[in-house]
Amino acid sequence: MTFKFNNVYINDVATVTGPYEKAGPLGKYFDMCYDDLYLHQKNWEEAEIKLIKDSIDLLVKKSSVGVDMVDLFIGGDLLNQIVASNYAMMDFNNSFIGIYAACATSTLGLILGSMFIDSGYIKKAITFTSSHNMSAEKQYRYPTEYGGPKPKSTTFTATGSASALISSLKGPIKIESGTVGAVINSTVKDVFNMGAVMAKAAADTIFKHLQDTGRSIDDYDLILTGDLGIYGMKILKDYMFSKYNICLKNYNDTGVMLYNLESQPVYAGASGPACAPLVTYSYIFDKMQKGKYKRVLLAATGALMSPAMVNHKLNIPSICHAISLEAMV
């Protein structure tokens, strides 16, 4: 299902990251970076809450729109009961919708916010997502100090939080349309190969988006997927060509862009709900405002993985939500 939006703009964005993202190739594009993974907090969960609070505070400061003038917050993260988002929102006393779509949360939030704004129910909304390498590692894999070897196809959860202020007032980036994806049976059971889990969902949503809008892949200056990693990128390219006969040319993956894969210990690339918005809101928006890209399709991909279901030997489902962004230069 693709929704076309007439008057929704991203007015301002804020990005907060940890040390690994700062050391990566896009380090200079972020608004704020922490050198300590604990962010001066007592534990990993509180560190992630701090990431969200910081990014919203920064966004409010940058856009000079008071928190009381924002009608609705939409956000989510990776942790059980989306605790980071819920606990961060305790400070704001504002209407909040918590969402979960794993690493596709960012685009789902933008689509939902755009719907509320375009239908006239609200004027301003803030969407946010976060992920923290250590809290995700603790919940989904092993204790953070455990050094068991991982295969090369493993992805590295990004530490950061990104938030965006969206409204019907004209801004630098227009949200032109959004496609809500379906849950796809990836037929993959390997938790250390998330790229393979999510590539199938990405292909499905990108194809549906092109079909619904009647566009071809060349109508976009850049196709961005969320966090497939280097191996997931190859799988998506091959699968798109083999199944839909679509050749992905102007294509990149935010998981590959966020880190320096050669020198940083990140295996196949970055992942996590924060990965796609961190790269898009910083580097991609910068390039869009400078005129390098006119229209970008951001297809954030999420592996809807639960350790219990993996232990039951079930296939891992995945989902992908895509939004089409246009530069207003």
The DSSP symbol for 312 reads T
Compare residues 216 and 245 and give the one whose CB is closer to other proteins. Answer: 245
Q: Using the structure block, give the residue that is written with the tokens 């690994």.
A: 20
By the 10 Å C-beta count (0-12 exposed, 13-18 middle, 19+ buried), 148 is classed as exposed
Compare residues 95 and 242 and give the one whose CB is closer to other proteins. Answer: 242
3-state secondary structure of 202: helix
Q: How far apart are CA 118 and CA 7, in angstroms?
A: 6
Contact status: 262 vs other proteins (CB under 8 A): no
Contact status: 40 vs other proteins (CB under 8 A): no
Q: How far is the CB of 141 from other proteins (least distance, A)?
A: 11
- 213 to each of 107, 131, 298, how far by Cα in Å? 18, 32, 15
Contact status: 235 vs other proteins (CB under 8 A): yes
By the 10 Å C-beta count (0-12 exposed, 13-18 middle, 19+ buried), 142 is classed as exposed
Contact status: 238 vs other proteins (CB under 8 A): yes
Q: How far apart are CA 242 and CA 238, in angstroms?
A: 6
Compare residues 145 and 262 and give the one whose CB is closer to other proteins. Answer: 145
For other proteins (CB under 8 A), the number of binding residues is: 30
Structure-token pair, residue 90:
């305790």
Compare residues 109 and 302 and give the one whose CB is closer to other proteins. Answer: 302
Contact status: 147 vs other proteins (CB under 8 A): yes
Smallest CA-to-CA distance from 184 within 104, 247, 245 is with 104
Contact region with other proteins (CB under 8 A), list: 4-12, 107-115, 147-155, 172-180:
147-155
Taken in order 196, 238, 257, 81, is the CA torsion positive or negative?
negative
Q: How far is the CB of 143 from other proteins (least distance, A)?
A: 4
Contact status: 313 vs other proteins (CB under 8 A): no
User: Which residue in 28, 151, 249, 306 binds other proteins (CB under 8 A)?
Assistant: 151
Q: Could you list the residues that contact other proteins (CB under 8 A)? A: 42-43, 138, 142-153, 186-188, 193, 196, 199-200, 231, 234-235, 238-239, 242-243, 268
